[in-house]
Structure 1
């Protein structure tokens, strides 16, 4: 399988209305459109006639009409010329579907499993999109290690002077990489501690698993009693973060955020009124990540020559699976073949 063979969230469904929209996946331009009956079409964004962008055209019934000469194309890519009816034309097409508030796209030849995002019993807080001006691997690196949280984030993560006390553990399969972090949390303030249900001396748990078909990470966040792990915070979070390569130097991150409250209160355990505040806070924290990655001195994806810490093992593990599972490579990436020395 190659990069285009996996499902990718491309566009919020609410943005695809009467006009087609141009997007890009792994450097391939795609024209998305919604027909009169509501069917979603995804065509290579170049008219086979004179190379006009099909995303600049308009939807006419069940077809997308090119702005330049009025040629029309169905969702299957089959085209017609009004001036030369017997001329057969075909635009490359992709499989598309609408789910979880997004338009998803993949190649029409592949048959991967569609990712399951729904969380029964959990409250959907928000869905966010952020664009990072960096390659896929470099963008992912930031979200797959916890060491940056003391200096980058406001309330998320761990205290800088207690990072030595944070434990990290890695588990891997051929198709996943799991990272489990636990340690003394940042100070949230008395009110927030009460609302979330955090007690003095508790630790923050950041447990995530990255999947590679499609490319996404599921994060679980909660606080717990280090002496009795069954005693957990009253509010817990789960994030689904999908990484979509726009091109070699641009990555879009789409995040679904869910929360669960164990407080015996109405309206989702009392968290519904705080939905707007939580959305703004997550968006703010994500923008801090984006700013850090955008301002790296180098966006070279090769890890060779870097001095990596005990928190960075996932960087190499991810690259191995990105190359083998996501890109469909038969060999490991050069940076993954290198024996990386991780500081203890």
Structure 2
């Protein structure tokens, strides 16, 4: 028997589990906070999500088939609708329910939560007039807390990152602001050098000041980054990025990152969609790949923080842990 998932309370929040285009008539198996789930799209286009194991003889419903509005088990033909209602061929009058999950489709994503308690609204954010350049996903073989640590501290950008980072961590101006359910972080400093190719595309130059500011909220776990550049004279450059990142605990040891990337239009007409947006998406995804690479190299996955090892830019890690605890961490450790 697998150990209980530490993040089970997080199931009550909406999490983007996969891209809309990944769910068709063929069932898809996924995990969320340790729960094995099967998602399927009915003939009418509705998406359902139910517990993976058939309650009859435990066969995986991921090997079943969609028939009309139901998911049919391949073993004995039991069928399940998106609410979990069961129809059994040999006992048609028997009323049973299978565990079902609430599902919502928005922003090109499938969102899932446990069907208990009042249904909260989906997370929302302002695009600030920016255009979606793309959505990327990463699976990180690291617990939720350590993944969050990496993406809410700034010191590593000077060494790990190639484009979006600071030249020298000692020159970073850093400020945090705390709320009961959120942490706000402001960072600015000299931008590290990157290829001149990007200077023409995004109007950045050597000597610019890079600002990477973000807010992290915890219902669900989400960080929204605002990245801007200033010229040496203090003029705000026209290019900026908004990055919306969800941290989805799949189980005790794996975290899924779902990242939506927004940018201004930098080329006219369809050229932005066909050329600029894919480049912006690829560059941002590569920067995220570097973060994932670093996390994969961790030699110790203990989630406890040692306050004595934290530097002047790391206070936010402790504050994030305090806010994460009531929303995601169960007492089953």
Query: Normalising to structure 1: TM-score of the pair?
Result: 0.88
Choose which of 263, 277, 280 in structure 2 pairs with 1:278: 280
Choose which of 304, 307, 318 in structure 1 pairs with 2:306: 304
Q: 2:11–2:113: 8 Å Cα contact kept in structure 1? A: yes
Task: Work out the number of aligned pairs and report it.
Answer: 324
Q: 2:138–2:257: 8 Å Cα contact kept in structure 1? A: yes
Q: 1:313 is matched with which residue?
A: 315
SS of structure 2 residue aligned to 1:152? coil
Shift in alpha-carbon separation, 1:270–1:50, aligned structure 2, 3 A: closer
Q: 1:222 is matched with which residue?
A: 228
Q: 2:222–2:244: 8 Å Cα contact kept in structure 1? A: yes
* Cα distance in structure 1, aligned partners of 2:184 and 2:199: 28
- Matching of residues 126-165 of structure 1 within 5 Å: 126-159=134-167, 162-165=168-171
* Cα distance in structure 2, aligned partners of 1:301 and 1:276: 35
- Matching of residues 198-213 of structure 1 within 5 Å: 198-199=204-205, 201-213=207-219
Q: 1:123–1:268: 8 Å Cα contact kept in structure 2? A: no
- Give yes or no for the alignment of 1:125 onto 2:133: yes
Query: Normalising to structure 2: TM-score of the pair?
Result: 0.91
* Cα distance in structure 2, aligned partners of 1:24 and 1:256: 21
Unaligned runs of 5+ in 2: 1-7
Q: 1:260–1:268: 8 Å Cα contact kept in structure 2? A: no
Q: 1:169 is matched with which residue?
A: 175
Deviates more, 1:125-134 or 1:189-198: 189-198
Measured against aligned partners, the alpha-carbon deviations of 1:258-299 in whole angstroms (never above 9, x if no partner) come to: 0014x6x63389686222222222221111111111111111
Q: 1:202–1:225: 8 Å Cα contact kept in structure 2? A: yes
- Give yes or no for the alignment of 1:31 onto 2:35: no
SS of structure 2 residue aligned to 1:244? strand
* Cα distance in structure 1, aligned partners of 2:22 and 2:272: 31
| CA apart distance, 1:174 | 0.7
* Cα distance in structure 1, aligned partners of 2:73 and 2:66: 9
* Cα distance in structure 2, aligned partners of 1:192 and 1:290: 23
Choose which of 238, 249, 256 in structure 2 pairs with 1:252: 256
Q: 1:332 is matched with which residue?
A: none
Q: 2:193–2:206: 8 Å Cα contact kept in structure 1? A: no
Measured against aligned partners, the alpha-carbon deviations of 1:178-225 in whole angstroms (never above 9, x if no partner) come to: 111100111124442343223554310000001101111000111114
- Matching of residues 15-94 of structure 1 within 5 Å: 15-94=22-101
Shift in alpha-carbon separation, 1:141–1:268, aligned structure 2, 3 A: farther
Unaligned runs of 5+ in 1: 330-344
| CA apart distance, 1:130 | 0.2
Shift in alpha-carbon separation, 1:274–1:266, aligned structure 2, 3 A: closer
Q: 1:288 is matched with which residue?
A: 290
Shift in alpha-carbon separation, 1:122–1:93, aligned structure 2, 3 A: same
Runs of 4+ in 1 over 6 A off after TM superposition: none
